[in-house]
C-alpha cells in the first residue's frame, strides 16, 4: 500500500503534539514534550513495550535521534517517558494523532480505491494489566478498526466488557463515519448507537443475539418461516461462497431481506431497512458443524455488500487483536498504572497501523525488527516515504 503522496516531514510529525498541554512542572523540565513523545512512538515501532525498553533503544540510537529531534539535554532517561505518559490524559493524547491518522486514511483510500470502508468496533482486554492489590481491573479498550485500510481510527478504554455499551459511542465520536459501514457485535446492538451512526452519516450492520430477546426471536422466526420455501415468497437476495483451507471446507450462505413491517413498527430502530442471516457450514476431518447468525442493518438491498460487512467485521480480531497479542505481546504487558497502560495500548494500535501501511510484504514482526535495526527503514514507516 503506497502512501508516498501523503509524506510527512519531521515538522509535520511534531506539530501533531503541539496542541497537547505539557503536564510537567516547569521546574527542571529539560526535554521538549514533542521530542519525548516522538521517541516513544519510534521506540514502540522498534519493538519496545515499556519506558525501560524505549529508553535503552533511544540511547543506542542517540546520535541519529539528536540529529532529527530537539534534544538540547541529550536522550531522556526512562523515568521521563514514564512520568510523561502517567501525567498525560489518554484522551487528548490520542486526539493529538488525529491529523496523522487522517493523512493515513486519505492515503489508504486512494491506494485501495475503497470508498465505503468497513469500520469494525470491538473490545479487547489486556489480560495481565490488572493489579489486585490496588483494586485495578484489567484494561478493556474498545477500538474502531478500518480493516480495508489496516488502520485503528480510535480507542476508548473501559474497565470491563460490560462497559462497552457506554464506551462504543465515545469511540465513534472520534471517527468520521460519513459513508462508512459500522459493524458491531451483539453487545453494541443498541438503539442509541444505531441512531448515532445514522446521525454521523454512516450505515450499520449489528449482530443479533438473545441479549435482545424479543427482536432476536422475531428476526429468527421470520427467517425460519421463509426457509420453508427457500425464501421464494419474499424479495430476498442470496450470496454463497465456498472455500477450502487449513484442512477444512467452508460454505457460507448470506441472505438479505427487507425488514418486514411488523418488525419495523414493533421495534423502531433508526434507519432500519434490512435483515440478514449468515449460515456457515464447516467440514473438517469428516465432522460437519454449522453456525447461524442474524443481523439488522441500515443497508439497502445488496447482499454482497452485506456479506463483505459480515466477513469484514472479523478483521479486527484476526488482523488487529491477534497481532497485538502475538507480535506486540500486549497480553503479557505488566504495565499497571491506569493512564500509562491506556497510552501504550493506543501506541501499540497506532504503530501497528503505521507498519501495515508500509508497502514491504514482510511480516509485522520482521518490520518491527527492521525498525529497531535500520534508521532509514524506521523513518520510512514513520513518514510514509517508502516508494
pLDDT digits (tens, 9 = 90+) for 173-211: 999 999 999 999 998 999 999 999 999 999 999 999 888
Last residue of a domain, one of 292, 321, 350: 321
Q: Does any domain span residue 67?
A: yes
CB 234 within 8 A of CB 257: yes
Q: How is 32-96 classified by DSSP, letter by letter? A: -HHHHHHHHHHHHHTT--SHHHHHHHHHHTHHHHHHHS--TT-SPPHHHHHHHHHHS-HHHHHHT
Last residue of a domain, one of 295, 321, 347: 321
CA 121 to chain centre: 7
Average pLDDT, integer, range 88-92: 89
Cell triple for 138: 484489567
Residue carrying the nine cell digits 480510535: 154
Spatial separation of the C-alpha atoms in residues 223 and 266, rounded to whole Å: 17
Domain count, the chain: 2
Q: Do 154 and 175 share a domain, yes or no? A: yes
Residues 220, 221, 223, 224: is their CA dihedral positive or negative? positive
pLDDT surpassing 70 at residue 162 = no
In 3D, which of 298, 307, 292, 205 has the Cα closest to residue 258? 298
Q: Do 344 and 312 share a domain, yes or no? A: no
Q: Does any domain span residue 359?
A: yes
Please state, for a pLDDT cut of 90, what percent of the chain lies above it: 65
Most confidently modeled range among 65-69, 246-250, 333-337, 340-344: 65-69
Within the chain, what is the greatest distance between any pair of CA atoms?
78
Q: Does any domain span residue 331?
A: no
Q: Do 100 and 170 share a domain, yes or no? A: no
pTM of the model: 0.90
- Cα separations in angstroms, 325 against 234, 333, 334, 385: 45, 10, 13, 28
Q: Do 277 and 350 share a domain, yes or no? A: no
Range(s) of the domain holding residue 283: 114-321
Q: Do 240 and 140 share a domain, yes or no? A: yes
Where does the pLDDT of residue 168 fall: very low under 50, low under 70, confident under 90, or very high at 90 and above? very high
Q: Does any domain span residue 328?
A: no
Q: Does any domain span residue 330?
A: no
Average pLDDT, integer, range 216-238: 92
pLDDT digits (tens, 9 = 90+) for 46-82: 999 999 999 999 999 999 999 999 999 999 999 999 9
In 3D, which of 311, 321, 259 has the Cα closest to residue 280? 311
Q: Do 82 and 200 share a domain, yes or no? A: no
pLDDT digits (tens, 9 = 90+) for 15-49: 888 888 988 888 778 999 999 999 999 999 999 99
Q: Do 288 and 190 share a domain, yes or no? A: yes
Residue carrying the nine cell digits 473438517: 284
3-state DSSP assignment of residue 310: helix
Last residue of a domain, one of 267, 290, 321: 321
Average pLDDT, integer, range 255-269: 89
Q: Do 179 and 198 share a domain, yes or no? A: yes
Q: Does any domain span residue 127?
A: yes
Per mean pLDDT, which range of 208-217, 251-260, 369-378 is the poorest?
Answer: 208-217
Q: Do 98 and 207 share a domain, yes or no? A: no
Where does the pLDDT of residue 4 fall: very low under 50, low under 70, confident under 90, or very high at 90 and above? very low
Q: Does any domain span residue 326?
A: no
Q: Do 138 and 156 share a domain, yes or no? A: yes
Q: Do 53 and 28 share a domain, yes or no? A: yes
Q: Do 93 and 59 share a domain, yes or no? A: yes
- Could you tell me which residues are beta bridge partners of residue 119? 146, 182
Looking at residue 27, what is its pLDDT?
79
In 3D, which of 324, 326, 274 has the Cα closest to residue 300? 274
Q: Does any domain span residue 235?
A: yes
Amino acid at each position: 500500500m503506497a502512501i508516498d503522496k501523503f509524506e510527512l516531514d519531521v515538522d509535520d510529525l511534531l506539530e501533531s503534539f503541539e496542541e497537547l498541554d505539557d503536564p510537567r512542572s516547569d521546574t527542571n523540565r529539560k526535554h521538549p514534550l514533542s521530542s519525548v513523545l516522538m521517541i516513544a512512538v519510534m521506540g514502540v515501532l522498534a519493538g519496545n513495550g515499556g519506558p525501560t525498553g524505549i529508553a535503552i533503544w533511544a540511547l543506542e540510537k542517540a546520535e541519529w535521534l539528536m540529529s532529527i529531534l530537539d534534544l538540547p539535554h541529550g536522550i531522556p532517561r526512562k523515568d521521563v517517558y514514564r512520568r510523561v505518559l502517567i501525567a498525560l490524559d489518554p484522551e487528548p493524547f490520542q486526539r493529538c494523532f488525529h491529523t496523522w491518522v487522517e493523512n493515513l486514511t486519505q492515503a489508504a483510500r486512494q491506494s485501495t480505491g475503497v470508498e465505503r470502508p468497513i469500520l469494525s468496533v470491538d473490545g479487547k482486554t489486556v489480560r495481565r494489566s490488572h493489579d489486585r492489590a490496588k483494586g485495578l481491573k484489567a484494561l478493556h479498550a474498545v477500538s474502531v478498526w478500518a480493516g480495508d485500510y489496516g488502520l485503528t481510527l480510535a480507542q476508548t478504554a473501559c474497565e470491563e466488557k460490560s462497559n462497552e455499551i457506554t464506551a462504543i459511542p465515545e469511540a465513534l465520536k472520534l471517527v468520521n463515519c460519513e459513508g462508512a459501514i459500522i459493524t458491531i457485535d451483539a453487545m453494541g446492538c443498541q438503539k442509541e448507537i444505531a441512531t448515532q451512526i445514522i446521525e454521523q452519516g454512516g450505515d450499520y450492520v449489528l449482530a443479533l443475539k438473545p441479549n435482545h430477546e424479543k427482536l432476536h426471536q422475531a428476526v429468527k422466526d421470520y427467517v425460519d418461516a421463509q426457509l420453508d420455501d427457500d425464501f421464494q415468497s419474499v424479495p430476498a437476495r442470496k450470496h454463497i461462497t465456498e472455500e477450502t483451507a487449513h484442512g477444512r471446507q467452508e460454505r457460507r450462505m448470506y441472505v438479505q431481506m427487507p425488514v418486514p413491517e411488523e418488525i419495523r413498527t414493533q421495534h423502531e430502530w433508526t434507519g432500519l431497512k434490512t435483515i440478514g442471516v449468515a449460515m456457515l457450514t464447516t467440514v473438517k476431518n469428516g465432522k460437519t458443524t454449522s453456525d447461524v447468525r442474524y443481523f439488522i442493518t441500515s443497508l439497502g438491498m445488496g447482499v454482497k455488500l452485506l456479506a463483505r460487512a459480515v466477513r469484514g467485521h472479523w478483521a479486527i480480531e484476526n488482523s488487529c487483536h491477534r497481532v497485538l497479542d502475538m507480535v506486540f505481546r500486549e497480553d503479557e504487558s505488566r504495565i499497571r498504572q491506569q493512564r500509562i497502560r491506556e497510552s501504550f495500548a493506543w501506541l501499540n494500535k497506532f504503530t501497528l497501523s503505521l507498519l501495515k501501511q508500509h508497502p514491504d510484504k514482510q511480516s509485522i514482526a520482521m518490520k518491527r525488527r527492521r525498525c529497531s535495526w535500520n534508521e532509514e527503514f524506521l523513518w520510512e514507516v514513520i513518514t510514509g516515504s517508502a516508494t
